[in-house]
Chain A
Amino acid sequence: KAGVTQTPRYLIKTRGQQVTLSCSPISGHRSVSWYQQTPGQGLQFLFEYFSETQRNKGNFPGRFSGRQFSNSRSEMNVSTLELGDSALYLCASSPGLATGTQYFGPGTRLTVL
């Protein structure tokens, strides 16, 4: 089975721009979660989607948003980019809800200049 894939793997943007990151979960997995990892804050939960509905949301500003499609693929969007948004963005999938077992993708490294 193919693992979680994320595109693009690397991205460079400038302040004020917006960005969309994509995640394809493991086949059959219906839950997709997103995390941000920075050297200062570590790994932080952004949000989780299951069956196209947002189930949980972390403590991030409204500039961070996401969605999930009927095929379970997910996208996250960051608008009005700030320097502090530079981070590794990780996507994880799970077969169902209410399990702590998640399978992570390789991440998208976003650099904001």
Chain B
Amino acid sequence: DAKTTQPPSMDCAEGRAANLPCNHSTISGNEYVYWYRQIHSQGPQYIIHGLKNNETNEMASLIITEDRKSSTLILPHATLRDTAVYYCIVRVNNAGNMLTFGGGTRLMVKP
């Protein structure tokens, strides 16, 4: 699976959009981009995933660049409860469900 690079930490003002970047310059054509988050002392939570097209659900939007070498997770109106570590994971959906977690981005939403 391709490796990902994320900033170790970011701040965001409550009510503003949080844009979390992820670099995956070695991604292969059949690899998906997944985002999970982990709120302190809880299990990780699935947010969203995509292959080529931009995706949106009730939690967030995922923007993948045309060359697929990077992506951005967007939380449109961040709240204090969105404070968490966000993980960007790239994987092939061909065998098994194993996830390889990196260091993630610690997002701090401030009032």
Q: Which residues of A contact B (CB under 8 A)?
A: 4, 31, 33, 35, 42-45, 48, 55-56, 58, 88, 90, 92, 94, 97-107
Contacts and interface: CB of A to CB of B under 8 A. Distances in A.
Secondary structure type dominating chain A contacts: strand
Contact of A104 (B44, B96, B100): B44
Nearest to A88: B41
B97 A100 contact: yes
8 contacts: A4-B43, A33-B97, A43-B101, A92-B99, A100-B49, A101-B46, A102-B44, A103-B46
A98 B43 contact: no
Contact of A107 (B43, B45, B101): B43
Contacts of A97: 95-97
B46 A98 contact: no
B96 A55 contact: yes
Contacts of B42: 106-107
B98 A33 contact: yes
Contacts of B99: 33, 35, 43, 45, 92, 100, 102
Contact of A100 (B32, B41, B43): B32
Interface in B70-93: 87, 89, 91, 93
Interface in B40-77: 41-46, 49
Contacts of B101: 35, 42-44
Given A100-B49, A100-B89, A94 B44 contact: no
Given A42-B101, A45-B100, A100 B93 contact: yes
B43 A106 contact: yes
A98 B96 contact: yes
B98 A98 contact: no
Nearest to A93: B97
A100 B30 CA distance: 13
B95 A100 contact: no
B46 A102 contact: yes
